[in-house]
Amino acid sequence: MADGTTWHSSDIDHVIVSEEQIRDKTAELAKQVAADHADAESILLVGVLKGAVMFMADFARALGRVGPPVELEFMAVSSYGQGTTSSGVVRILKDLDRDIAGRHVVVVEDIVDSGLTLSWLLKYLESRSAARVDVVALLRKPDALKVSIPVRYVGFDIPSEFVVGYGLDYAERYRDLPFVGVLKPSVYGRG
């Protein structure tokens, strides 16, 4: 666009977490994880596609600078159910490529909302005999506090609003925005 903004960043009503806040918090979380896993030979990060890709890329580099060697794995899961809420019934679309037995695993999540996806995923990873499974989530919504899942590292607690950006999408768009924000109401129903 002529004014220098992209068409889609103009769809944002307000920013919830800025690019700078994400950068600072990512470094802070990496330091905490590095300190807690100082005895690990390496850390296996498991990113949950697609939402966690941006955070995974930045977090892995931040952790690699201050902690043990980092290895990357990805899983893709889909929760049965409709629209923007999850049902807790999870289907694996892409499984781990290798054995995680005995490994220090850190699950990298974009957002924990109801916590149902994560609680399923933690049971699954534990059943694969990881030595230790921790979770780092960039964002957490208040609903997540109702379920007892141990999200050890949380970036930001945010209001219960649907957010996009930094990996998070609405109809597959806005993942590329460098910040997390709320869409203008007019955007919904447009596609």
Closest CA to 103 of 76, 134, 77, 74: 134
Q: Which of 32/78 has CB closer to ligand XMP?
A: 78
DSSP string, 59-123: HHHHHHHHSS-EEEEEEEEEESSSTTS--S-EEEEE--SS--TT-EEEEEEEEESSSHHHHHHHH
Q: Which of 11, 58, 110, 113 is catalytic?
A: 113
Measured over the CA atoms of residue 66, residue 67, residue 73 and residue 74, the dihedral's sign is: negative
Backbone angles phi, psi at 71, to 5 degrees: -120, 150
Instruction: Give the per-residue contact string, 42-81, with ligand XMP (x = CB under 6 A; - = no).
Output: ---------x------------------------------
Instruction: Select from 40, 113, 138, 181 the one that contacts ligand XMP (CB under 6 A).
Output: 113
Instruction: Give the per-residue contact string, 132-171, with Mg ion (x = CB under 5 A; - = no).
Output: -------------------------------------x--
Q: Respond yes or no: is residue 95 known to be catalytic.
A: no
Q: Which of 128/175 has CB closer to Mg ion?
A: 175
Which residues make up the interface to Mg ion (CB under 5 A)? 169
